[in-house]
Structure 1
Amino acid sequence: MDPVFAPGVPNEVRRLFERRPELFVPAGQPRPKRRTSWSEAPGNTFGTMLVWLAVCVGGWILAVIVLAITLPTAAAAWVSLALAVLAVVATGGIAVRSAVEDRGRKQVRMQHGKYLLAEDFDEPSAKLLGRAQRAVKTVLEATVTRRGMLDEMQNELVLPEQLWDIGQVLHEQSVLRARQQEVARGMATAELDAVLGPQRRALSRSVDAIRRKVELLEQYAGRVRSADAALRAEAALEDGDRYIELLARTEPAGDTAVVQGFADEAAALKDTFTRSIKAARDAGRTLALPE
């Protein structure tokens, strides 16, 4: 399954997951600390800096000797000064870079808790979330959606919010389910059953409610697929005139039954497409209604 992001997470962070997934930490773990070269490996960083300084000083001394031999005194002095400034600037840049946190790592760290990974879900929750993600992907990638034939604001705003809400609840269900299993490992007692019984019933009701939400998303996706299919069929009608002309060349004069059949099918298809779009819009609006 893909990670689930809160609606406010920047697209740059979302794309970063594809390139550097190792930076992302599950919500169930503590927020990662700020990390730099000095904090991760101070000894190696200090050693690298010493080697760099030795190379800079040694190279500068050698350059001064060569310049003193090959250039006039004044020119050699100016060139030596320029090399010294360049070395200081480069050294400062390396020192600052080793003390500054990697930009991508910082972005991910600041967004911790606003994304959920596969590790944040147990198997039942992961299956439900996968169904919800597939339904949302179907809607957002549909041709009728890209052409603005559905409620564009509904799809761009409500669907990501719905997916994030579902992901948060499924994550909490996973945590509580694991907690119940851990507590129930001990010896069963009447007191324990008295506590776990209501908790299990509450968890079961929550699971049923989320399942109904996922089913609503899947119904919406099904309506959108039907509208997409009708749209593709309508596009095929653009070649209808060529087929009518072809039949006119081959059918006996005065036989208009086939031509009339084409016209009737076209009218029926347009009606089907209109109903499919309306059904998809109606299904989409139910997602934003309070339960």
Structure 2
Amino acid sequence: MEPVFAPDVPDGVRRLYERRPELFVPAGQPKPKRETSWSVAPGNTFGTLLVWLAVCVGGWILAVIIMAGTLPAEVAAWSAVVLAGIAVVATAGILVMSGFEDRGHKAVRRQHGKYLLSDDFDDEARRLLGRAQRAVKTVLEATVTRRGLLDEVKNDLVLPEQLWDIAQVLREQSILRARQREIARGMATAELEAVLGPQRRALALSVDAIKRKVDLLDRYADRVRSADAALRAEAALEDGDRYIELLARTEPAGDTSVVQGFADEAGALRDTLTRSINAARDAGRTLALPE
């Protein structure tokens, strides 16, 4: 399954996952700490700085010797000062940069808890979340959505919010299932069952409610797929005039029922498309966010 992001997570962080998924830490783990080259590898950073200083000092001394033998004394002196200044500025820049945090790591650290990874869910939750993600992807990538035929449903706003809400509940269910299994290990007692029984029933009710939400998303995706199919058929029907012209050129006295069939199919298809779009809108309204 793909990660799920809260609706307010910047697009840059979402794209970062595609390039550097190793930076992302499951919500169930502690929030990452600020990392710089000093905190990650202080020995290597210090060694690199020593090498740099050695190169700077050695290079400066060599340059001074060469300039002293080839340039007038005053020019050589000023050149030596300029080189020393450049080396100091470069060294200061390296020191400052070594104290900065990697931009990608910083962005992920700040958004920790606003994205959920596969490791945040158990198998049952992953299956349900996968279904929800596929349904949302189907709707958002559909032609009828891109053309604005379902604008009143506000898919771009509603569906990411719905997906994030579902993911949060599924994560909590995964945590509680694991907790129940841990507590239930060992000898079963009446006292333990008295506590776990109601908790299991509450969890089962929650799971059923989430399944119903995912079923709604699936139904919406099915309606959108049907509308997309009708839209593609309508696009294909637009070529009807070309087929009529082809028949007229090659079979002037041909069967006119074919031409009449195009006209009849056009009318029926318009009705089908209208019904499909309306059905998709009706299904989408069941997912609308509360005012």
Same-fold status (TM-score > 0.5): yes
The aligned amino acid for 1:36 is T
TM-score (norm 1): 0.96
Q: How many Å separate the matches in 2 of 1:213 and 1:21?
A: 29
Gaps spanning 5+ residues in structure 2: where?
none
The aligned amino acid for 2:39 is S
Task: String of CA shifts for 1:205-240, please: whole Å, max 9, x gaps.
Answer: 000000000010111111111111111110111210
The count of corresponding residues between Structure 1 and Structure 2 is 290
Q: Shift in Å at residue 246 of structure 1?
A: 2.4
Residue 170, structure 1, aligned to residue 176, structure 2? no
TM-score (norm 2): 0.96
Question: Cα gap change, 1:91/1:153 in structure 2, threshold over 3 Å: closer, same or farther?
Answer: farther
Tell me the equivalent position of 1:238.
238
The aligned amino acid for 1:52 is W
Tell me the equivalent position of 1:104.
104
Q: How many Å separate the matches in 2 of 1:190 and 1:28?
A: 32
Q: How many Å separate the matches in 1 of 2:2 and 2:105?
A: 20
Tell me the equivalent position of 2:184.
184
Map residues 57-96 of structure 1 onto 2, 5 A cutoff: 57-96=57-96
Tell me the equivalent position of 1:52.
52
Tell me the equivalent position of 1:123.
123
Tell me the equivalent position of 1:227.
227
Contact kept? 1:3, 1:118, Cα under 8 Å: yes
Aligned-partner SS, 2:148: coil
Q: Shift in Å at residue 69 of structure 1?
A: 1.2
Aligned-partner SS, 1:94: helix
Q: How many Å separate the matches in 1 of 2:149 and 2:78?
A: 70
Tell me the equivalent position of 1:213.
213
Tell me the equivalent position of 1:268.
268
Gaps spanning 5+ residues in structure 1: where?
none
| Identical-pair percentage | 80
Map residues 132-151 of structure 1 onto 2, 5 A cutoff: 132-151=132-151
Q: How many Å separate the matches in 2 of 1:154 and 1:8?
A: 16
Deviation larger for 12-21 or 120-129: 12-21
Q: How many Å separate the matches in 2 of 1:144 and 1:79?
A: 69
The aligned amino acid for 1:238 is E
Map residues 271-286 of structure 1 onto 2, 5 A cutoff: 271-286=271-286
Q: Shift in Å at residue 255 of structure 1?
A: 5.1
Q: How many Å separate the matches in 2 of 1:89 and 1:12?
A: 32
Q: Shift in Å at residue 251 of structure 1?
A: 4.8
Contact kept? 1:220, 1:284, Cα under 8 Å: yes
The aligned amino acid for 2:154 is Q
